Structure 1
């Protein structure tokens, strides 16, 4: 069966009219006349032998056939637009979708990402942040940087570096602390992992930390650190990720005590064969880590 030839202008006119439910507003968007849009939609209906709209005195009502066609057209035009955006200077820009724990993204990756872009100018990194709970397949991510033990079902995990947790707080609180036990009299800020402070107190030599303390629980270490800067309590966070705040004196680390609860990992779906761009990003990331920490990562 010979398929009808469908002019691109007619498909575009239909898609715009369906979004606006108006030939007039579609014409304004496409910078043509209302009569031209109406003619193109009518041409498409004749080619398909189906009514896509019901013409009403005050606009349009899309038919069930039009509703079925609309998402296909939207997807097609979006894909064409994305591909055209990737064509730059006669070369095709590659897109790399990376999801990262917010703490890692802000505290470690962003200050270094310009170096990757300088080495790979035709790669567009699209960075999104998450709180360690994310479905990599659903989000369509090439890589995800997570914190944990490296055991995630269906994922290939490459260890980046360990990020031990330590007590961090505003200077006016740190100046009042003499021993780790003093922290039990302050509000303790932590993530959703309940045993973090218990592990830290144990590392500090306090054999029987209190079962319950005054605490505020956060789903983001970035928000937790902001609370610590404002004096809301003492945060338990990785100093490596908050070097800027420590360097400028916004927060202090009152005790050289750390609790190691996991590492940062670069993960990808085992079902996903890494592209050349993905391999380049991983190699760059591991080299940056080696330059920063050497064998101490």
Structure 2
């Protein structure tokens, strides 16, 4: 059917009646009389040459043809309504759903969100923290910030931040630590990914200690454990500056290992929207402008 000939009022009348399965409630929703609503539906049935409802004593029942048409109309009208809702204050608002590995969310992104909101009031961010295990299509995300080597099948990846790992611990850990080879690395599991206890120890030139005790899947939990004096953790100082500023953690020595970086990822099959582009460009600009981390 050509677009100029689509009977929009009749379709709205049918869709409302199909949801309520009663003409009286549908008429109240659309602010028309029940007779007018019934007239619109009858005209639509005549135009299509099929019956869309069967009238029963307690209301309406969809025919097979009506059941095929109703969900298409409901979905289309819902999408139109959701898009129109994004216009407020004289501008279009784009909702952006972003998955973020928890360490990056708390250590870098959240403290800077006010800057992004001020620069891009047309983008409504929805942040979903994770532990670096995320599926963009499976979780309904537009973007995901994750740690790794940048190689993920079917994803476009933009490198946004290097995050070398260094041994960090509480100020109260006893004894000096003059050099990496004299410093004991605690048997905590580094959850960031490629840099587990084994690889981290080798990167620092140390023999790997026995991996016993709690195994943690959160770098934030690992940092908290180290801050409580339970050992030394491999962490990215660039994301724990607020911990060192408050004296909860210190970096033991000027030696780090590179196990990956933080990347902004999106599906290759999906074109980049204006909101996605604004967020990507803002991320890269903010990272480039930040001072280097110190421990």
TM-score by length of 2: 0.72
Aligned: 1:215 with 2:218: no
Q: 1:195 to 1:55 in 2, by over 3 A?
A: farther
Contact 1:5 1:47 (C-alpha < 8 Å) held by counterparts:
no
Q: 1:195 to 1:119 in 2, by over 3 A?
A: closer
Instruction: For structure 2, list consecutive stretches of 5 or more residues without a partner in the other structure.
Output: 178-182
State the partner residue of 2:15: 15
Q: Please list the CA deviations of residues 244-294 of structure 1 after superposition, one character each: whole Å capped at 9, or x if unmatched.
A: 455456x53474464432100123444555455544433322121111146
Paired with 1:198 and 1:121, the residues of 2 have a C-alpha distance of 45
Structure with more helix by fraction: 1
Within the candidate set 285, 290, 294, 1:287 is matched to 285
Contact 2:10 2:40 (C-alpha < 8 Å) held by counterparts:
yes
Paired with 1:225 and 1:203, the residues of 2 have a C-alpha distance of 19
- Aligned to 2:215, the other structure's residue is in SS state strand
State the partner residue of 1:151: 151
Deviation at 1:148, TM superposition (A): 0.4
Q: Please list the CA deviations of residues 11-47 of structure 1 after superposition, one character each: whole Å capped at 9, or x if unmatched.
A: 3343334344444554554455666555544443333
- Aligned to 1:266, the other structure's residue is in SS state strand
Deviation at 1:84, TM superposition (A): 1.5
Deviation at 1:242, TM superposition (A): 4.0
Aligned: 1:181 with 2:179: no
Corresponding pairs, count: 286
Deviation at 1:136, TM superposition (A): 3.9
Instruction: For structure 1, list consecutive stretches of 5 or more residues without a partner in the other structure.
Output: none
Within the candidate set 249, 253, 257, 1:252 is matched to 249
CA RMSD in angstroms comes to 4.1
Aligned: 1:118 with 2:122: no
Paired with 1:228 and 1:9, the residues of 2 have a C-alpha distance of 63
Deviation at 1:143, TM superposition (A): 3.7
